[in-house]
């Protein structure tokens, strides 16, 4: 890279005193030279805000906003997106530490491919390494969207990636749906896949946590069929909001209907 575009790490935090320090330390150790860490504490009732404040006081790259009333995960994440100013951004989940080269390697990937809107890495999880290969070299946006709709592989891994902030602003923030915040990252990832290519960096640069109190553990707690239906309806809403050509929109709504029918027949919830 001839220059170092500004990157904003957006950390929505709440009641994470058991694990937030290790994630903040991983952000502090990033090798990328033009990084800002923007933290929004969502009215935590434990020591999360105090831990974040220590980093903000000792490192000029860190900035803490303390919410006086609960916004919820989506409201807190969107507050950070609205405040971010830069070329790239990513959600720094308060329970998922990053390798020191995380930002550097993903920004390099985006700079090398102007048609990409997001770069993501492999992930340490469950004692091994998880990979998401389903969107590699898929340049057709309808096919990318189809694969996200079908939830091929670990579809949620790209949500832990670095994205172009302008693309996120065009899409808008994450949105609640009929099941509230449940898997709200899926419709957002679908919309982002319609906006541009995804690039995989084949290195495990994220450590995914699934412990008690983490967002993943909360969302995966005995999902119900109506929650899965709500996610699919939200995905259909994002297809409409993207305003693709009519033929593409019809193709994607058909894909959503096929997937819904398959899930119903096979009694699958997600």
Q: How confident is the model at residue 121 (pLDDT cuts 50, 70, 90)?
A: very high
Question: Which homologous superfamily does the CATH classification assign to the domain defined by 7-265?
Answer: Spore Coat Polysaccharide Biosynthesis Protein SpsA; Chain A (3.90.550.10)
pLDDT in tens, 230-247: 999 999 999 999 999 999
Instruction: Give residue 45's pLDDT.
Output: 96
Q: How confident is the model at residue 1 (pLDDT cuts 50, 70, 90)?
A: very low
pLDDT in tens, 161-215: 999 999 999 999 999 999 999 999 999 999 999 999 999 999 999 999 876 666 6
Q: What does DSSP assign to residue 207?
A: E
Domain parsing of the chain, residue ranges: 7-265
pLDDT in tens, 8-58: 999 999 999 999 999 999 999 999 999 999 999 999 999 999 999 999 999
Task: Give the closest residue to 48 by CA, choosing from 26, 31, 64, 32.
Answer: 64
Q: What is the DSSP string of 116-182?
A: EEEEEEEEEETTEEE---TTTT---HHHHHHHHHTT-SSTTGGGGSEEEHHHHHHH-S---BTTBTT
pLDDT in tens, 53-109: 999 999 999 999 999 999 999 999 999 999 999 999 999 999 999 999 999 999 999
């Amino acid at each position: 890279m001839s220059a170092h575009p500004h990157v904003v790490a957006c950390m929505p935090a709440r009641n994470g005193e058991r694990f937030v320090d290790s994630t903040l330390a991983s952000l502090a150790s990033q090798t990328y030279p033009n990084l800002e860490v923007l933290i929004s504490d969502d009215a935590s009732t434990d020591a999360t805000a105090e831990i974040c404040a220590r980093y903000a006081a000792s490192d000029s790259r860190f900035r803490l906003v303390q919410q006086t009333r609960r916004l919820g995960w989506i409201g807190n994440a969107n507050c950070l997106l609205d405040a971010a100013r830069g070329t790239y951004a990513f959600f720094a989940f308060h329970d998922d530490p990053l390798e020191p080269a995380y930002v550097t390697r993903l920004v390099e990937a985006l700079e090398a491919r102007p048609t990409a809107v997001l770069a993501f890495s492999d992930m340490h999880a469950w004692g091994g390494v998880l990979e998401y290969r389903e969107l590699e070299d898929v340049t057709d946006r309808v096919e990318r969207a189809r694969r996200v709709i079908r939830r091929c592989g670990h579809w949620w891994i790209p949500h832990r990636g670095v994205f172009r902030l302008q693309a996120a602003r065009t899409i808008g923030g994450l949105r609640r749906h009929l099941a509230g915040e449940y898997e709200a990252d899926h419709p957002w990832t679908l919309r982002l896949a319609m906006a541009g290519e995804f690039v995989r960096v084949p290195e495990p640069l994220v450590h995914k946590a699934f412990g008690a109190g983490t967002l993943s553990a909360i969302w995966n707690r005995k999902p119900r069929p109506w929650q899965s239906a709500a996610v699919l309806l939200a995905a259909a809403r994002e297809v409409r909001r993207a305003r693709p050509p009519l033929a593409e929109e019809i193709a994607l709504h058909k894909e959503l209907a096929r997937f819904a029918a398959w899930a119903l027949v096979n009694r699958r919830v997600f």
